[in-house]
């Protein structure tokens, strides 16, 4: 995306977001880098419909930024030598063009409200666009209660290159997973795969559910993830492609060993 067009879009969007809140945008628009300002305003925006003008400008910006970073195909993920249905890919899941990507959500299912927070929930909602929070809000209003741990909900992916986002709430282990936490984490993987199959999807990319601020130990979580996926694929007789998406060295090495890479 050309720098001039990016700046033009960000100026217009920040102006609109500030006006929604009755804020004076003049101070905000003096920032040299408006992307963090835009992201903070979007992360804390109430779940409300946006104008067609806003959505048009927002979608152009987000799609341009994602294209600039590079979209990655499922075929780029490295296949397991033990089971070709399972693959490993290291990178930013918001640039991954699987049929579905999995979001590690919280029980409110409305995205992360911390401006610029470095969690997958924040990243997915930021790059999908404000439409995602609104769809999640509709789903939760219809449900009438918070999302139970270990279940899954499917939404559109909007500006992301994936077709769908599957949201699941992992267990909060705080470094000491119990038998219940382990069962709940396994349920996250099964529920997401069930949801993907029900939608007729052929590929799904999992993040490392619950291993961030929820504190599930990485080694134990990776073992549960691979074991749960393999069991589901075998029991379902499915040839769905399942990608384990990692972002750091430690998780990559764990999954490499588990997938015989």
Q: What is the pLDDT of residue 27?
A: 86
- pLDDT of 160 > 90? The answer is yes
Q: What is the pLDDT of residue 7?
A: 95
Are 2 and 68 in contact by the 8 Å Cβ rule? The answer is no
Q: Which of 10, 106, 125, 117 is nearest to 58 (CA)?
A: 10
Query: What is the pLDDT averaged over residues 182-211?
Result: 98
Q: Which of 168, 150, 160, 142 is nearest to 94 (CA)?
A: 160
pLDDT digits (tens, 9 = 90+) for 96-150: 999 999 999 999 999 999 999 999 999 999 999 999 999 999 999 999 999 999 9
Q: What is the pLDDT of residue 169?
A: 98
Mean pLDDT of all residues belonging to the chain: 97
The residue written with tokens 């990692």 in the block is: 246
pLDDT digits (tens, 9 = 90+) for 87-97: 999 999 999 99
CATH architecture assigned to 74-258: 3-Layer(aba) Sandwich (3.40)
Query: What is the pLDDT averaged over residues 203-225?
Result: 97
For residue 231, how many other CB atoms are within 10 A of its CB? Answer: 14
Q: What is the residue extent of each domain of the chain?
A: 3-69, 74-258
């Amino acid at each position: 995306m050309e720098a001039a067009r990016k700046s033009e879009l960000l100026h217009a969007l920040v102006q609109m977001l500030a006006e929604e809140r009755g804020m004076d945008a003049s101070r905000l628009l003096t920032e040299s880098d408006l992307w963090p300002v835009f992201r903070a305003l979007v992360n804390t925006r109430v779940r409300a419909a946006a104008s067609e003008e806003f959505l048009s400008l927002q979608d152009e910006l987000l799609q341009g930024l994602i294209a600039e970073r590079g979209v990655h195909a499922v075929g780029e993920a490295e296949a397991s030598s033990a089971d070709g249905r399972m693959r490993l890919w290291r990178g930013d899941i918001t640039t991954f063009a699987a049929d579905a990507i999995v979001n590690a959500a919280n029980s409110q299912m409305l995205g992360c409200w911390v401006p610029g927070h470095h969690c997958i929930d924040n990243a997915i909602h930021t790059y999908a666009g404000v439409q995602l929070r609104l769809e999640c809000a509709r789903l939760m209003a219809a449900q009438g209660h918070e999302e139970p741990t270990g279940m899954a909900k499917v939404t559109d992916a909007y500006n992301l290159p994936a077709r769908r986002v599957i949201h699941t709430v992992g267990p909060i282990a705080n470094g000491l997973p119990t038998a219940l936490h382990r069962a709940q984490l396994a349920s996250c993987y099964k529920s997401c795969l069930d949801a993907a199959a029900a939608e007729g999807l052929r590929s799904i990319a999992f993040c490392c559910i619950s291993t961030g601020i929820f504190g599930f130990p990485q080694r134990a979580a990776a073992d549960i993830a691979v074991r749960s996926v393999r069991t589901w694929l075998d029991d379902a007789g499915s040839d769905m492609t399942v990608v384990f998406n990692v972002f750091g060295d430690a998780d990559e090495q764990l999954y490499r060993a588990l997938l015989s890479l």
